[in-house]
Amino acid sequence: MAHMPRIQFHILTLFPELFTGILNSSLLAKASAKGLVSFNLTQIRDFATDKHKTVDDTPFGGGEGMLLKADVLYRAWRSVVPEKSCAEAPSGSGLSSAKTITILLSPQGELFDQKMAHELTSTYSKIVLVCGHYEGVDERFIDLCVDREVSIGNYILTGGELPAAVLVETMTRLVPGVVGNERSLTEESLERDGLLKYPQYTRPREFKDHTVPDVLLAGDHKAIQTWREQEMRRRTERKRPDLLK
């Protein structure tokens, strides 16, 4: 019997074509081919009901740009989260069930990081990612359906598609079995005590008069370990002192 993917990702977007290359290449393609995760794209526009397939409208009270309409977004979201009825959900809590979470990609959200990726991956089996566009989305959709707003950084993108891809890729790597050598996950930057990874070198030993540190060539594993730990701390202090706070 085929097993269920550990995480089903559902992405609600006006631009599903932006995901074609990303989801069908490299590690993400392998992870879905193995059935460890599944990627499901929903075209928000398919849930517009008028003949022009309108998904956006001007904001009440005036202001710049267009907003994604709450009713269209709601129908799109409902098609992938049919689990709970509206009446069960207190306003602002989102309607998702315990193992399902609805995330709106938004520059107003909590900043995404490796810790959040671990938390989401270990808690949820169905992750619904809603990509905003234009000036954003009608607030009532957020109140009613969104559990969490997540930002990938303090800058503004045109849409939530690249942020959604960032979340999907980061979380998929953490699903057991996706990265062949599990140690390479724990040895990564931001994993061990939140420090950056030590410097690494490969052949040739000498490149434009720069040599590889002697300690890495001497075969003393304990000395290599000590050197790597020192380097992790040293480079974190130098490059990302904020991580040590």
- At closest approach, how far in Å is the CB of 166 from ligand SAM? 9
Distance set, CA 124 to CA 23, 97, 99, 179 (Å): 20, 10, 5, 19
- Beta carbon nearer to ligand SAM, 113 or 187: 113
159 contributes a contact to ligand SAM by CB under 6 A: yes
132 contributes a contact to ligand SAM by CB under 6 A: yes
158 contributes a contact to ligand SAM by CB under 6 A: yes
Sign of the torsion angle spanned by Cα atoms 136, 137, 139, 145: negative
Binding residue for ligand SAM, selected from 19, 94, 120, 160, defined by CB under 6 A? 160
- Both tokens of 25, joined, read 């290449």
Q: Tell me how far apart the alpha carbons of residues 218 and 224 are, in angstroms, rounded to a whole number.
A: 9
What is residue 70's three-state secondary structure? helix
Using CB under 6 A, which residues numbered 8 to 67 contact ligand SAM? none
Q: Tell me how far apart the alpha carbons of residues 8 and 187 are, in angstroms, rounded to a whole number.
A: 26
69 contributes a contact to ligand SAM by CB under 6 A: no
- At closest approach, how far in Å is the CB of 126 from ligand SAM? 20
- At closest approach, how far in Å is the CB of 104 from ligand SAM? 7
- Beta carbon nearer to ligand SAM, 6 or 10: 10
Phi and psi angles of residue 60, each rounded to the nearest 5 degrees, phi first: -60, 140
- At closest approach, how far in Å is the CB of 60 from ligand SAM? 15
Among the listed residues 102, 63, 61, 98, the one whose alpha carbon sits nearest the alpha carbon of residue 81: 102
Peptide bond into 16 cis (omega under 30): no
Interaction mask 97-116, ligand SAM, x per CB under 6 A: --------xxxx--------
Residues near ligand SAM (CB under 6 A) are 105-108, 131-133, 135-137, 151-153, 155-160, 163
